[in-house]
């Protein structure tokens, strides 16, 4: 019997898919090459924006056709499953089972019941041990970096966001478990970990998040620690200090601001003003120059005026983010923002998005150009030369480097190499071995 997992969404979903794959293999299933040779297809879904949901329904349509031709079990998990629950069966009767985000370990039981012919099998319960998933069961993708869950859920209540509904309230994994898992990962050959949570810096699994970073950094053989993602209100001076001084913590911070207008931030219920956000950034002090900064923006939030949007552009100029991710506001079911009047035409929202992204592309290019001439360490992230003849590596600042490597020379996958940056484009650096 073969299984296939298709994944949308954030790193948390990627990592959940690694956990689900491990559970399937433990039950004796083997990985399929594609839908064609799979007996069970599991869609691990995202519902952060409507576009993400549409992709899932398109794929479900394709699977309905496949099911007409042969026996096939279709399961849906992830955030759309948790949000829609039994509603999914009504909208897409080709679904055999639905597994919520807080019930991952119930997968084998659900598959077994569905295989036995039971229809509409579902578990969207809240299991308190979900975040204590046995690390040895996880089947990691063969990338250079290992993902590690430290906290699940979110206690904030941003008015546009579906995540508190789909991921529940915060559950913190004990720090000793986290450190033990990282030790095992290093023994397996990983040299880099990314600590995951909807809001990692509200971590409280027996210590603060800054303390957790220091404890994980003590694991011998580990080279870099990354983390994602952080709410500005939980970004403390202690964390800024750790980021600035612990050399194993990669020099990169993703601190989503969403908007540069206080009026919009208030309606988003982000719990900070622009000034308070900037105060928190200032915690980084002199290290700010060295640490690459990234953020998220939502444009076209209900009631966003042209002046509000200009404030967002002004904030972009002021902070000069090294990179950012920006999205047009997408109304999500059951969220408080649905009650706000939203009369801005979609075309105007798209225009704002394009303007913001065009300016960010210039800033990112400038940020990349400032790196030209620098000698850095970068991790080899391809197992061979790519189409353009170069190898792929990644710096601590989370920059892709296209590495020119002499003909016939092979680089060690997953290892840090010394490089010199020789050029820059908007999406990557060019470099050579130092
Ligand atoms: N916990 C993270 C956010 C995770 S969602 C945080 O608070 O920073 C990732 C990003 O998706 C958010 O930062 C936001 O910019 C965007 N997003 C979330 N809900 C959205 C919506 N309804 N419409 C458009 N973008 C949204
Ligand atoms: Fe969503 Fe806000 Fe929680 Fe981030 S902090 S997951 S945007 S509710
Ligand atoms: Fe999407 Fe859920 Fe992640 S909504 S962004 S998969 S937490």
* pLDDT recorded at residue 267: 98
What is the mean pLDDT of each successive set of 10 residues along the chain, which is 434 residues long? 98 98 98 97 98 98 97 98 98 98 98 97 96 96 92 97 97 98 96 97 97 98 96 97 97 98 98 98 96 98 98 98 98 98 96 98 98 97 91 96 92 95 96 96
The superfamily in CATH containing domain 375-433 is Nucleic acid-binding proteins (2.40.50.140)
Ranges of H-type helices in 139-208? 163-167, 175-188
Is residue 148 helix, strand or coil?
A: strand
* pLDDT recorded at residue 143: 84
CATH topology of domain 2-123: Rossmann fold (3.40.50)
List, by residue range, all CATH 3.80.30.20 domains of the chain.
Answer: 131-369
Pick the CATH number of 131-369 from 1.10.1060.10, 3.90.1300.10, 3.40.50.12660, 3.80.30.20: 3.80.30.20
Known binder of ligand: residue 154? Answer: yes
CA distance 211 to 188: 24
- Ligand 3 pocket, residue 12 CB under 6 Å: yes
CA distance 216 to 195: 10
Question: CB of 344 within 8 A of CB of 304?
Answer: yes
Residues constituting the chain: 434
CA distance 69 to 10: 33
* pLDDT recorded at residue 142: 78
CA distance 197 to 175: 14
CA distance 59 to 50: 15
Which ligand approaches the C-alpha of residue 167 most closely? 3
List, by residue range, all CATH 3.40.50.12160 domains of the chain.
Answer: 2-123
Known binder of ligand: residue 161? Answer: yes
Nearest atom in ligand 3 to 101's CA: 2
DSSP 254: E
134 Cβ contact partners less than 8 Å away, ≥ 6 residues apart = none
* pLDDT recorded at residue 388: 86
CA distance 370 to 91: 51
List, by residue range, all CATH 2.40.50.140 domains of the chain.
Answer: 375-433
CA atoms within 13 A on the CB side of 326: 26
User: Whole-structure pTM over 0.95, yes or no?
Assistant: yes
Tell me which of 327, 349, 360 to substitute to probe ligand 1's pocket, judged by most ligand atoms within 8 Å of the beta carbon: 327
């Amino acid at each position: 019997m073969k299984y296939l997992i298709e994944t949308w969404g954030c790193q948390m979903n990627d990592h959940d898919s690694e956990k689900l794959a491990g559970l399937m293999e433990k039950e004796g299933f083997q990985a399929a090459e594609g839908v064609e040779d799979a007996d069970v297809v599991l869609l691990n879904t995202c519902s952060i924006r409507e576009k993400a949901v549409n992709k899932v329904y398109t794929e479900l349509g394709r699977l309905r056709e496949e099911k007409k031709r042969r026996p096939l079990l279709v399961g849906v998990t992830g955030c759309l499953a948790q949000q829609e629950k039994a509603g999914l069966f009504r909208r897409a009767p080709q679904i055999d089972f639905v597994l919520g985000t807080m019930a991952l370990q119930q997968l084998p039981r659900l598959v077994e019941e569905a295989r036995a012919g039971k229809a509409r099998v579902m578990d969207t319960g809240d299991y308190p041990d979900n975040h204590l998933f046995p690390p040895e069961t996880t089947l990691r993708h063969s990338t250079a970096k290992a993902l590690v869950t430290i906290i699940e859920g979110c206690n904030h209540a941003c008015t546009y966001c579906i995540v508190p509904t789909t991921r529940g309230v915060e559950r913190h994994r004990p720090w000793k478990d986290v450190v033990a898992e990282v030790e095992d990962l290093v023994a397996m050959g990983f040299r880099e970990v990314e600590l995951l949570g909807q809001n990692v810096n509200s971590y409280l699994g027996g210590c603060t998040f800054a303390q957790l970073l220091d404890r994980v950094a003590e694991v011998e053989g580990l080279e870099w620690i990354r983390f994602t993602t952080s709410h500005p209100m939980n970004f403390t001076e202690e964390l800024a200090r750790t980021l600035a001084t612990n050399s194993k913590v990669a020099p990169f911070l993703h601190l989503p601001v969403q908007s540069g207008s206080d009026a919009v931030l208030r309606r988003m219920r982000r719990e900070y003003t622009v000034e308070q956000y900037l105060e928190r950034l200032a915690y980084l002090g002199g290290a700010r120059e060295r640490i690459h900064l990234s953020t998220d923006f939502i444009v076209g939030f209900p009631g966003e005026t042209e002046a509000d949007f200009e404030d967002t552009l002004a904030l972009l100029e002021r902070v000069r983010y090294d990179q950012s991710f920006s999205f047009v506001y997408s109304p999500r079911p059951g969220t408080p923002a649905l009650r706000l009047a939203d009369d801005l035409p979609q075309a105007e929202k798209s225009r704002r998005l394009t303007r913001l992204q065009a300016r960010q592309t210039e800033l990112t290019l400038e940020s990349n150009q400032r790196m030209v001439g620098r000698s850095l360490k970068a991790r080899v992230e391809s197992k061979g030369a790519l189409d353009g003849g170069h190898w792929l590596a990644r710096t601590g600042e989370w920059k892709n480097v296209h590495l020119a490597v002499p003909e016939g020379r092979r680089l060690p996958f997953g290892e840090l190499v010394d490089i010199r940056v020789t050029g820059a484009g908007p999406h990557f650096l060019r470099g050579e071995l130092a």
